[in-house]
Amino acid sequence: NAGVTQTPKFRVLKTGQSMTLLCAQDMNHEYMYWYRQDPGMGLRLIHYSVGEGTTAKGEVPDGYNVSRLKKQNFLLGLESAAPSQTSVYFCASSYTTIQLDPLGQYFGPGTRLTVT
């Protein structure tokens, strides 16, 4: 099992450029999440999905879009990147029922994005 993987690991964008971050999980998890981590802050939820074809906004959704066309993949899109979106992005996945797995959410290794 690869667990949760994220592509790419690093990326530098210019302001106004677009890109898509890919998150993939092979654990058949229903729930998937995108977080961002900024210096001095914990992780903050951007968007999440409770199943294939569904998405919902988290705490900081502005400037991002997401899609969950396949159960194993959760894509995070930046249509017009801004310097304020420079951050480390973490994807996570989980079972629907927390009792099923004591670890709760499984995290990917992160994507470091710099917008200049």
Partner 1 sequence: AQKVTQAQTEISVVEKEDVTLDCVYETRDTTYYLFWYKQPPSGELVFLIRRNSFDEQNEISGRYSWNFQKSTSSFNFTITASQVVDSAVYFCALSEVDYGGSQGNLIFGKGTKLSVKP
Q: Which tokens go with 21?
A: 């971050």
Q: Which residues bind partner 1 (CB under 8 A)?
A: 31, 33, 40-45, 48, 50, 58, 88, 90, 92, 94-99, 102-105, 107, 109-110, 112
Query: What is d(CA 64, CA 18) in angstroms, rounded to the nearest whole number?
Result: 10
Q: How far is the CB of 80 from partner 1 (least distance, A)?
A: 26
Nearer to partner 1 by Cβ, of 27 and 45: the residue is 45
For residues 18 and 67, give the distance between their C-alpha atoms in angstroms, rounded to a whole number. Answer: 15
Query: Of the two residues 15 and 96, which places its CB atom closer to partner 1 in the complex?
Result: 96
Q: Are 96 and 31 in contact (CB under 8 A)?
A: yes
Q: How far is the CB of 114 from partner 1 (least distance, A)?
A: 14
